[in-house]
Structure 1
Amino acid sequence: MLQSIKQNWFSNVRGDVLSGLVVALALIPEAIAFSIIAGVDPRVGLYASFCIAVVIAFVGGRPGMISAATGAMALLMVTLVREHGLQYLLAATLLCGLLQIGAGYLRLGSLMRFVSRSVVTGFVNALAILIFMAQLPELTNVTWHVYAMTAAGLGIIYLFPYVPKLGKVIPSPLVCILSLTAVAMYLGLDIRTVADMGDLPDTLPVFLWPEVPLTFETLAIIFMVVTVVVVVFTHNLAYGVLAGVLLAAMFFANKVGHYLHIGSELDAAGHQRTYRVVGQVFFSSSDKFTGAFDFKEALGKVTIDLSRAHFWDITAVAALDKVVIKFRREGTEVEVLGLNQASATIVDRFGVHDKPEAIDKLMSH
């Protein structure tokens, strides 16, 4: 147990402290911005982010995990807060937590295998656009100092990593936040600050039960509608056909995902292991693919034979990149061979493990 605590909590103290500082400083304006989007007091977003971040640090499922107020949830809560008030938002939060705990006990996380990497990428990009749009009001009808600080911030974030030695040791967002804050305070620039967006809390939050009636009507309000009706209730065959096609696709993907075998053999000297992959690698089987490799085994070289495998999508390519980069981080030489023409085409187009400039960027994170 002590070894596990040491590994999870003290194996990368410098990196954890620096990343914690970045998250803490960047989370304040983000939480306030999302509070404004949701239509609640900025203190609500700050309290929520603080509580969630602390809880997830101790009971989170993986090291380095962070969770806080997000734009995706803020958008969903706009109508709820506007029509029913803050108390229903708190009740919805508690219900959401219970549903997530239930999903965890039922191991529904395995269903994420059916979510393609392209879908996740689209969601993250949409969230980035939402964050950008939330900041647009801060860039209109302002003094030139704001535009100068914005340009300086972008310059520091994107150019500081190229500074010899320091660029790969200190996160550029942290440098940006600290340096520009110091400049603004020293020069007394006429720019809006976090405090201008709302009152900052000066006490710790207190746990209170939401003041809502415990009725089915309340539950219906929290769920905010959305009854899925297929054929029987709508008498619309098109909905039934669509639902049938989607279910058939899921069952087929699940079935094909199980037809993946990865075996390995160690050479006589004990320095080189060859992994042989047989089957289809795509979004449903990518986790099984990455889980079949032992990254902690002390080896000089690893050969991944893909002559009897096929890579179908960018999720599979990302899984291959992850495997190769993890081995290289452990100091192991990796050779990938046997890709068929179709697989080689998609790997060459979307893969990064054989692109030195991309590898340097990934290895520095």
Structure 2
Amino acid sequence: MISLSEYRNQWFGNIRGDLLAGVVVALALIPEAIAFSIIAGVDPRVGLYASFSIAVLIAFVGGRPGMISAATAATAVLMITLVRDHGLEYLLAATVLAGLIQIGAGLLKLGRFMRYVSKSVMTGFVNALAILIFMAQLTELDLSVPGITWLTYALVAVGLVIIYLLPRLTTAIPSPLVTIVVLTALVWFTGWDVRTVGDMGALPDTLPVFLIPDIPLNLTTLLIILPYSLAVAIVGLLESLMTQNIVDDLTDTKSSRDQECVGQGIANTATGFIGGMAGCAMIGQSIINVKSGGRGRLSSFAAGVALLIMVVGLGGLVAIIPMAALVAIMFMVAIGTFSWSSLGNLKTHPRSSSVVMIATVFTVVYTHNLAIGVLVGVMLSGIFFAAKIAQLFRIRSSLSQDGRTRTYLVEGQLFYGSAEDFAEAFDFKEAVEKVVIDVTGAHIWDISSVQALDMAILKFRRDGAEVELIGMNEASETLVDRLAIHDKPGALDKLMSH
């Protein structure tokens, strides 16, 4: 739990930088929120209200200052079928339930499981998001779409020049904000016919109001929305916690994962009651915020408030912002997000790490589902780790001078990945009176290793040898005492019947 002084500093320790960054983020949020609403099959105001609500609420209750949360594509794509089959009211109810699930995950401290996501998976996740962000902008460069011409390409190029060259002259004003102002003014004064934010959809002209989703409160409704809510909750937390790690690295600070889970849940639950769709942390907007100077909670709050002011009070001005300006900013995000060093590391990093990273990228890009990509990466990491640990396992044996006792010295980790090597290391045909299995340098982990140990002991006893098991540490002994059957009546028959 953070102290009051630290919490206050997270709000007011970087006022100027947070306010300016918040405005830049708000401008970039508008077309994305509209686009995500279209993806989900709902009115643009659903995504815009959600982005306002989530950004403001997460500023107060989130665990990562400076991270931006709003409506996202990752959650929007999960709601398509629900909206199509049951309508907007069920989407709002699913959003509320997803938030409650996330609150529960935070209270149960499930955020700690992020430690099992390897660096290779994280890198693959980041690279995949960069690719998805880049690909999402290509629709604004499609010359077959009305309003998109070669002039659009020229404006994007000018925007990129401003974004990358202005910081060499001054960092007093964020270069993305200057890009938006300059390109908007250029298009307005010249009267060029290019796509603008207004072409993405109608902007809301009223403030959001509290409402309760108009659905039947019964078990049937719960069974309809529960699968969608679970998917949204899981994907939302995955993207949020991974983005949190990235912002932690960018700012060289630490933050609370469990508080972030609870914060995301509170934000989503409340958003469902004002007509907004579910959302989560946004890696692209978070990077824009950090690179524009945003560090504290005020930046997220400012982004949400500025978004609402722009779309409701200044909708006419926002509508004339050329999409080329926002495309240039998102290209900057994609370039800055991608881990370019990971390409060079393919030659030097272990092959297994590279395979995990590439598989994560490919799966996320192919499925457009972050959860599936991360799951594939984590599973591959586990398989490669188990294979690597199994290679460190070995057994040496020695025969006593009188030739009556054979001692097997077991070293390493005895688990399902090394159980077969363990079983094959014994010579059951050797005629000795006594066998000593010394596991002083080993650790017994699971039921597979216990069964392999049972089988070895029982086979030696079946052939008339006395077997002594020595050197177990406390944890191994507890597991063996609970699961092993080699000292129980009829043990060999029971084991062979499995």
Residues of 2 paired with 1:128 and 1:209: CA distance? Answer: 37
More helix by share: 2
Kept in 2, the 8 Å contact 1:80–1:224? The answer is: no
Residues of 2 paired with 1:24 and 1:226: CA distance? Answer: 27
Change (3 A) 1:291 1:113: farther
Q: TM-score, normalised by structure 1?
A: 0.58
Letter in 1 for 2:85: E
What SS is found at the alignment partner of 2:54?
Answer: helix
Change (3 A) 1:81 1:128: farther
Give the C-alpha shift of residue 156 in structure 1.
2.3
Aligned position for 2:28: 26
Kept in 2, the 8 Å contact 1:91–1:210? The answer is: yes
Give the C-alpha shift of residue 202 in structure 1.
1.3
Aligned position for 1:197: 200
Alignment map for 1:79-90 (pairs within 5 Å): 79-90=81-92
Kept in 1, the 8 Å contact 2:39–2:77? The answer is: yes
Aligned position for 1:208: 211
Aligned position for 2:64: 62
Give the C-alpha shift of residue 225 in structure 1.
7.5
Give the C-alpha shift of residue 213 in structure 1.
1.8
Kept in 2, the 8 Å contact 1:35–1:74? The answer is: yes
Percent identical across equivalent pairs? 67
- Of 176, 179, 186 in structure 2, the residue corresponding to residue 176 of structure 1 is 179
Alignment map for 1:331-350 (pairs within 5 Å): none
Q: Answer yes or no: is 1:147 the counterpart of 2:147.
A: no
Letter in 2 for 1:53: A
C-alpha RMSD of matched pairs (Å): 3.1
Give the C-alpha shift of residue 91 in structure 1.
1.1
Residues of 2 paired with 1:5 and 1:133: CA distance? Answer: 38
Give the C-alpha shift of residue 42 in structure 1.
1.0
Change (3 A) 1:129 1:61: same
Kept in 2, the 8 Å contact 1:157–1:176? The answer is: yes
Change (3 A) 1:121 1:176: farther
User: Unaligned 5+ residue runs, structure 1?
Assistant: 228-282, 293-344, 351-365
Letter in 2 for 1:145: L
Aligned position for 2:46: 44
Alignment map for 1:1-365 (pairs within 5 Å): 3-140=5-142, 141=144, 142-161=148-167, 163-164=168-169, 166=170, 168-224=171-227
Kept in 2, the 8 Å contact 1:87–1:212? The answer is: yes
Change (3 A) 1:94 1:120: farther
Q: How many residues align?
A: 234
Q: TM-score, normalised by structure 2?
A: 0.43
User: Unaligned 5+ residue runs, structure 2?
Assistant: 231-244, 255-347, 354-498
Residues 213-272 of structure 1 show CA distances to partners (whole Å, capped at 9, x for unaligned) of 223332222233799xxxxxxxxxxxxxxxxxxxxxxxxxxxxxxxxxxxxxxxxxxxxx
Give the C-alpha shift of residue 204 in structure 1.
0.9
Residues 157-215 of structure 1 show CA distances to partners (whole Å, capped at 9, x for unaligned) of 23333x23x1x443322222222112112222201111121111111111211122223
Give the C-alpha shift of residue 74 in structure 1.
1.4
Kept in 2, the 8 Å contact 1:88–1:222? The answer is: yes
Residues of 2 paired with 1:125 and 1:89: CA distance? Answer: 30
Give the C-alpha shift of residue 154 in structure 1.
2.4
Residues of 2 paired with 1:3 and 1:291: CA distance? Answer: 17
Give the C-alpha shift of residue 124 in structure 1.
3.6
Residues of 1 paired with 2:72 and 2:228: CA distance? Answer: 22
Change (3 A) 1:189 1:169: same
Kept in 1, the 8 Å contact 2:78–2:228? The answer is: no
More divergent stretch after superposition (181-190 vs 216-225): 216-225
What SS is found at the alignment partner of 2:195?
Answer: coil
Letter in 2 for 1:192: R
Letter in 1 for 2:121: V
Give the C-alpha shift of residue 6 in structure 1.
4.1
Kept in 1, the 8 Å contact 2:82–2:228? The answer is: no
What SS is found at the alignment partner of 1:68?
Answer: strand
Runs of 4+ in 1 over 4 A off after TM superposition: none
Residues of 2 paired with 1:103 and 1:73: CA distance? Answer: 17
- Larger relative contact order (C-alpha < 8 A, sep ≥ 6)? 2
Letter in 2 for 1:194: V
Kept in 2, the 8 Å contact 1:33–1:134? The answer is: no
Change (3 A) 1:80 1:122: farther
